[in-house]
């Protein structure tokens, strides 16, 4: 432990120069702008900027990319709050509560809760990265295909809390889940290298890209929904709410912290654990955290109607993923997420290969990076994010909605295009946007669809890999105590949630129709 | 949404799962050499849920018939499809399809001009400013990042000017 | 009308004059190059490392566009629809041109493309975990012979050369080993480290860190030559097999691109590779082997491996075309 502090000190001496701090701030600003523009991902910004890091100082380049990553992880919640249009997939869960809260005139409150929860989650996972990276990486490695499959199944049960309360809603929710699983089967089946539902189109071989799907279902469909409202005075709906902004007092802040603290801690830990596992990602973590917060709350909670915990939990969770997804990278040299893969590239461009060797040969670089990471959350939040929020709020007051929504469509399309530079993707994007609109009209909620769409393929792949390893014997799921435990947990969670939904009667608060996704 | 439309959606879903069983899975999964187990499993789930949904819809429909008053509905979701979202869909589709041929700048300009009308923009001048500025700014950002947007006449003109 | 005709004639005449001039002065505008992988991988970094030198040689910028998907097929299929005017080419890994067309129906015919050159080949290593009981390839194979199916190996996907290389070996030795497809090399390495599979066949970069950190044991080099990362590990050829796993990165033009333009890009690649900077970075930082093949040799090797990989694909039941 003492050694770590020594290393941290060396890293701080090595890394904390004015230049590197500037790099963080520039990066954070780029990240926050990219993240706040619907459809443009922080990762896309990282990828586009990556080639330019060839000519930069190593730590400057990496600090900047780190800043983009962190800024983007928070910024998606801004548009999610103000327009119900998540700027990034990670913020999809946040919108469930932050938009309703905003509509009650508490925009400052919901934006700030999201920000502070992000800082909290980010910081917890930064420290976990610094102090527990090697053991956590070891745990992540030990989880084999069968354990991961069980873990995903358990995570998937968080979906149940996202469903409505009437029987009709529950059936629709299950249909939504199955449709999500179905869409995810499109593409090459990796376990047999053959096609499923591809219709001979090569562009579909890699499946429907997930960022595109989420932006289409949530952002584009919202634009269609808003298009309906043109003519009435409710365009942008929230415009009326601006007149009665409720100030966010220090007392209220203190109260919110007290309410949310438990969820903040739990979400930060869940987010860090899920982040350390390759391929699960921030969007899932956010939904799982949201689901867990909801599951553990009392029956009278105002989830779906602007509960502060409904904002804090997913935001802390998705930001916790940011740092912990670097754990496999620095300890094993294995990038666990798209963003980590870009960081890997950035290291390689600078002539370093991240992993245990780099940790041994150049601890000052790795620990320097850690110090910068810890600094990023605070500096970014105070120097960039807070001013940015107030600017956004000012712009928001005189927003011309009839120009804003077409602009959103353009941003989404450009963002989707910039991911793979494939025009074909735009067609899928548009089609899915309309599907999302129709689903919302039919009262089918979108979040279960998304969660199933992300987790379905991981579940299928790991289940089949496990069966391949056991020569087809399903006993592999019962032999490992972890797998068995998780499976039992999943079954219990599923049963309990369903029982609570059907037996517990309706929740105290009726959730108004338009707050549902 | 009334019980009748719930029923028709449930029917469509059941129809889709039949189509999937008898046409899509044999031609697009099995014929390509993939295992049909997982797709068929999901499809069966869909069928079960859609049937449950249908049953619930029928229950609703009966209830609605009993109590013709407004309180009798137990279906969720609502509203008909409207003209403007459909118009948006058509315009966005035309934009996306024409982008490859017209280039990003021109197609986006046209799209923004029309889409903002759909959204009820009243000020021509503001619409024009946005429709010109936005595609130009985006295309210059992309140019600065050395990334490509679909090119057309306007881009070629800019290339010519910039050399 | 007459005026219009006159203008048109003038344009046509100009165009006719302009075309030969274009070929001679090529390139006169930026050239677009597709990278068939997502940003940040070894190949991507390598391409971006040589790009500035190619630009220097050509005198015009290269616009590198990452177009991942379908094992590179998306990039090549887009390329095959592009104008063969020399201003669009694509980087391609060997499987995109050789194995994938034999595995699934594609919208392009790789044999019609214009092969520019290949700047590098990939190296492959068969690893087991450091504390595993097998110290040589022979021990692993002997174990597999006694316990059919007990040896599982990680690959970055079915039908990849990593899979086919070991499949060839298993077939040759008549033992049963189970290929486990993962999503990319890093995850297959992780599965070995976690003890979920026995071995993995991976490209160099994905394993450098774990190998140098002392967590892996190299059993054999699957590709043709020894590599600096594991200088004492023997190649398959040295172990007595007449086989080497081969895959390389190359560049291709769409069908019908003039030879002069192909030559120019080939020279640009050659020029970039001759830079000491590039060589040093490739060797010490990226752990890849620079190995220039001109267009003709590149094409020959692709044709040769069409047959070799095709045969293995047939044996594992993946050959469909």
For residues C216 and C280, membership in a common domain is answered with no
**A227-233 own/partner pairs: CB under 8 Å, 24+ apart:** A227/A405, A227/B82, A227/B84, A227/B85, A227/B87, A227/B88, A227/B118, A227/B119, A228/B79, A228/B82, A228/B84, A228/B85, A230/A402, A230/B84, A230/B118, A230/B119, A230/B120, A231/B84, A231/B120
- Nearest CB to B77; choose among A403, A430, A443: A443
Query: Nearest CA to CA, how far is B34 from chain A (Å)?
Result: 6
Asked if B120 lies within 8 A of A230 by C-beta distance, the reply is: yes
Torsions phi, psi for C184 (to 5 deg): 95, 160
Q: How confident is the model over C44-51, as a mean pLDDT?
A: 92
Whether A353 and chain C come into contact, CB under 8 Å, resolves to yes
Q: Give me the count of residues in chain A.
A: 517
- Per residue in C60-118, pLDDT tens? 989 999 888 888 999 999 999 899 999 999 999 999 999 999 998 899 999 999 999 99
- Per domain, the residue ranges of chain B are 3-72, 83-162
Torsional class of A301: left (φ above 0), alpha (ψ -120 to 50), beta (otherwise):
beta
- Do C134 and C205 share a domain, yes or no? yes
Cβ neighbour number for residue A176 with a 10 Å cutoff: 27
Per-chain mean pLDDT for chain C: 89
When computed from its CA atoms, the radius of gyration of chain B, rounded to whole angstroms, is 25
Residues of B in Cβ contact (< 8 Å) with A406:
111-112, 115-116, 118-119, 130
Q: Which domain, by its residues, includes C178?
A: 124-221
CA distance A217 to chain C (A): 22
Same domain, C190 and C149: yes
Whether C163 and C146 share a structural domain = yes
Q: In the numeric block, which tokens belong to residue A417?
A: 């295009």
Q: What is the pLDDT of residue A506?
A: 45
Q: What is the mean pLDDT of chain A?
A: 86
pLDDT tens-place string over residues A125-175 = 999 999 988 888 888 888 889 999 999 998 888 777 778 778 888 889 999
* Low-confidence stretches of chain B (pLDDT beneath 70): 1, 68-81, 163
Do C107 and C130 belong to one domain?
Answer: no
**C61 contact residues in B (CB cutoff 8 A):** 146
- State how far Cα A323 lies from the chain centre: 13
Burial class (CB in 10 A: 0-12, 13-18, 19+), C171: middle
Number of inter-chain CB pairs under 8 A, A vs B = 181
pLDDT value of residue A503:
65
Rounded to an integer, the average pLDDT of A322-340 is: 86
Question: How confident is the model over A508-513, as a mean pLDDT?
Answer: 42
Q: Which of C221, C239, C256 is the last residue of a domain?
A: C221
The beta-carbon contacts of C6-11 under 8 Å, at least 24 apart in sequence, are none
State whether C306 and C280 are in the same domain: yes
Q: Residue C88, exposed/middle/buried by CB under 10 A (0-12, 13-18, 19+)? A: buried
Domain contains C22: no
- Inter-chain residue contact B35 with A189, CB threshold 8 Å: yes
State yes or no: pLDDT of A512 exceeds 70.
no
| Distant-in-sequence, close-in-space partners of A308: CB < 8 Å, separation ≥ 6 | A97, A101, A109, A113, A256, A259, A260
Q: Is B35 on the interface with C (CB under 8 A)?
A: no
* Nearest residue to C262 via CA among C133, C85, C70, C127: C85
ipTM given for this complex: 0.91
Q: Does C23 map to a domain?
A: no
Element containing residue A135 per DSSP (H, E):
helix A107-142
* Lowest pLDDT segment from A376-390, A502-516, C37-51, C210-224: A502-516
Q: Is residue C81 part of a domain?
A: yes
State whether A410 and B134 contact (CB < 8 Å): yes
In this structure, the answer to whether residues C108 and C180 fall within a common structural domain is no
Chain C contacts of A356, Cβ < 8 Å? 209-210, 212-215
Nearest-neighbour CA in chain B from A224: distance (Å): 5
In this structure, chain B runs to a length of 163
| Cβ proximity of A221 and A408 under 8 Å | no
- Number of domains forming the structure of chain C: 2
Report the CATH number at residue C141.
3.40.190.10
Residue A292 · residue A314 · CB < 8 Å: no
Residue B155 distance to chain C (closest CA, Å):
13
> Chain A: residue nearest C152 by CA?
A469
With CA atoms as reference, report the closest residue to A59 among A8, A15, A11.
A15
* Partner residue facing B148 (CB), from C65, C104, C320: C65
Residue A507 pLDDT: 42
**What pLDDT was estimated at residue A508?**
39
Residue C104 and residue C131 share a domain: no
Q: What confidence score (pLDDT) does residue A496 get?
A: 83
Spatial separation of the C-alpha atoms in residues A14 and A33, rounded to whole Å: 29
Tell me which of A51, A205, A410 to substitute to probe the interface with B (most B C-beta atoms closer than 10 Å).
A410
Rounded to whole angstroms, the Cα distance separating A208 from A222 reads 20
Q: How many interchain CB pairs under 8 A, B with C? A: 11
Nearest residue, CB atoms, A231 vs list B29, B46, B120: B120
Regarding whether C95 and C148 lie in a shared domain, the answer is no
**What's the whole-model pTM score?**
0.89
Do C107 and C154 share a structural domain?
no
**Rounded-to-integer distance, Cα A370 and Cα A388, Å:** 25
Chain A residues with CB inside 8 Å of B28's CB?
Answer: 195-199
- Joined together, the tokens standing for residue A277 give 């596992």
In this structure, is residue C40 part of a structural domain?
Answer: yes
**pLDDT above 70: residue A1:** no
Q: Are A205 and C69 within 8 A, CB to CB?
A: yes
Residues C208, A355: C-beta atoms closer than 8 Å: yes
pLDDT in tens, A185-220: 999 988 888 899 999 888 899 899 888 998 999 999
């Amino acid at each position: 432990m003492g050694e770590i502090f020594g290393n941290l000190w060396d890293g701080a001496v090595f890394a904390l120069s004015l230049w590197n701090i500037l790099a963080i701030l520039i990066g954070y600003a780029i990240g926050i702008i990219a993240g706040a523009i619907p459809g443009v991902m922080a990762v896309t910004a990282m990828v586009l900027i990556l080639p330019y890091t060839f000519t930069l100082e190593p730590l400057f380049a990496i600090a900047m990319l780190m800043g983009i990553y962190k800024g983007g992880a928070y910024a998606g919640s801004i548009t999610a709050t103000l327009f119900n249009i998540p700027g990034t997939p990670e913020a999809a869960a946040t919108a469930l509560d932050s938009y309703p809260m905003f509509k009650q005139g508490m925009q400052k409150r919901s934006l700030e809760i999201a920000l502070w929860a992000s800082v909290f989650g980010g910081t917890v996972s930064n420290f976990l990265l610094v102090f527990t990276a090697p053991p956590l990486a070891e745990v992540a490695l030990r989880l084999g295909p069968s354990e991961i499959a069980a873990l995903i199944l358990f995570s998937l049960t968080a979906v149940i809390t996202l469903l409505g309360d009437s029987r009709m809603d529950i059936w629709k929710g299950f249909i939504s889940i199955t449709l999500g699983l179905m869409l995810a089967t499109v593409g090459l089946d990796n376990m047999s290298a053959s096609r499923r539902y591809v219709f001979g189109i090569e562009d579909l071989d890699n499946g429907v890209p997930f960022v595109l799907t989420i932006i289409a279902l949530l952002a584009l469909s919202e634009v269609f929904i808003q298009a309906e409202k043109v003519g009435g005075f409710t365009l942008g709906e929230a415009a009326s709410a601006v007149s009665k902004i409720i100030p966010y007092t220090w007392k209220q802040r203190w109260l919110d912290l007290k309410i949310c603290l438990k969820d903040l801690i739990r979400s930060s830990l869940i987010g860090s654990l899920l982040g350390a596992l390759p391929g699960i990602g921030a969007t899932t973590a956010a939904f799982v955290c949201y689901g867990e917060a909801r599951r553990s709350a009392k029956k009278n909670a105002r989830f779906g109607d602007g509960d502060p915990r409904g904002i804090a939990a997913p935001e802390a969770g998705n930001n916790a993923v940011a740092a912990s997804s670097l754990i496999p990278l620095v300890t094993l040299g294995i990038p666990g997420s798209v963003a980590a893969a870009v960081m890997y590239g950035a290291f390689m461009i600078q002539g370093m290969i991240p992993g245990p060797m780099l940790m041994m040969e150049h601890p000052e670089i790795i620990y320097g990076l850690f110090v910068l990471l810890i600094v990023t959350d605070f500096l970014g939040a105070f120097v960039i994010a807070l001013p940015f929020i107030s600017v956004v709020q000012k712009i928001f007051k005189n927003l011309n909605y009839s120009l804003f929504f077409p602009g959103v469509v353009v941003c989404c399309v450009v963002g989707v295009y910039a991911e793979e530079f494939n025009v074909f993707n735009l067609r899928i994007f548009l089609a899915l946007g309309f599907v999302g609109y129709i689903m919302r009209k039919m009262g089918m909620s979108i979040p279960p669809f998304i969660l199933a769409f992300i987790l379905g393929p991981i579940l299928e792949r790991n289940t089949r890999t496990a069966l391949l390893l056991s020569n087809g014997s399903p006993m592999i799921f019962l032999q490992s105590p972890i797998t068995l435990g998780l499976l039992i947990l999943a079954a219990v969670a599923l049963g309990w949630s369903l029982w609570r939904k059907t037996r517990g009667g309706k929740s105290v608060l009726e959730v108004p129709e338009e707050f549902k996704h | 949404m009334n019980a009748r439309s719930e029923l028709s959606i449930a029917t469509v879903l059941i129809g889709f799962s039949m189509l999937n069983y008898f046409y899509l899975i044999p031609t697009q999964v099995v014929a390509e050499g993939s295992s049909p187990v997982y797709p068929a499993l999901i499809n069966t789930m869909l069928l079960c849920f859609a049937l449950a949904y249908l049953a619930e819809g029928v229950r609703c429909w009966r209830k609605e018939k009993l109590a013709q008053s407004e309180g009798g509905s137990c279906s969720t979701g609502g509203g008909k499809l409207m003209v403007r979202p459909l118009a948006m869909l058509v315009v966005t589709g035309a934009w996306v399809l024409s982008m490859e041929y017209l280039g990003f700048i021109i197609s986006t300009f046209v799209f923004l001009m029309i889409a903002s009308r759909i959204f009820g923009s009243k000020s021509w001048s503001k619409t024009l400013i946005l429709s010109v500025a936005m595609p130009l700014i985006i295309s210059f950002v992309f140019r600065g990042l050395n990334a490509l947007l679909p090119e057309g006449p306007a881009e070629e003109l800019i290339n010519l000017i910039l050399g | 009308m007459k005026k219009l005709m006159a203008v048109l004639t003038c344009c046509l005449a100009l165009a006719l004059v302009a075309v030969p001039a274009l070929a001679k002065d090529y390139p006169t505008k930026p050239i677009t190059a597709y990278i068939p992988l997502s940003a940040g991988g070894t190949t991507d970094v390598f391409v971006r490392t040589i790009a500035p030198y190619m630009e220097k040689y050509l005198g015009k910028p290269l616009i590198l566009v990452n177009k991942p998907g379908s094992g590179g097929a998306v990039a090549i299929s887009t390329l095959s629809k592009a104008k063969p005017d020399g201003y669009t080419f694509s980087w391609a890994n060997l499987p995109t041109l050789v194995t994938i067309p034999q595995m699934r129906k594609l919208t392009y015919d790789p044999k019609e493309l214009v092969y520019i050159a290949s700047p590098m080949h990939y190296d492959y290593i068969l690893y087991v975990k450091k504390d595993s009981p097998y110290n040589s390839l022979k021990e692993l194979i002997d174990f597999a012979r006694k316990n059919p199916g007990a040896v599982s190996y990680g690959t970055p996907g079915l039908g990849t050369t990593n899979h086919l290389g070991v499949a060839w070996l298993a077939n040759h030795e008549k033992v049963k080993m189970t290929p486990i497809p993962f999503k990319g090399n890093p995850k297959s390495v992780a599965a070995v480290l976690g003890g979920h599979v026995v071995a993995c066949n991976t490209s160099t970069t994905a394993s450098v860190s774990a190998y140098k950190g002392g967590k892996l044991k190299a059993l054999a080099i699957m590709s043709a030559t020894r590599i600096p990362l594991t200088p004492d590990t023997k190649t398959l050829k040295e172990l007595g097999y007449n086989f080497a796993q081969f895959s390389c990165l190359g560049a291709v033009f769409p069908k019908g691109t003039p030879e002069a333009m192909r030559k120019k890009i080939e020279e640009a690649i050659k020029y970039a590779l001759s830079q000491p900077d590039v060589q040093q970075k490739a060797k010490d930082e990226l752990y890849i082997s620079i190995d220039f093949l001109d267009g003709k040799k590149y094409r020959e090797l692709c044709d040769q491996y069409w047959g070799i990989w095709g045969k293995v694909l047939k044996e594992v039941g993946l050959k469909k075309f």
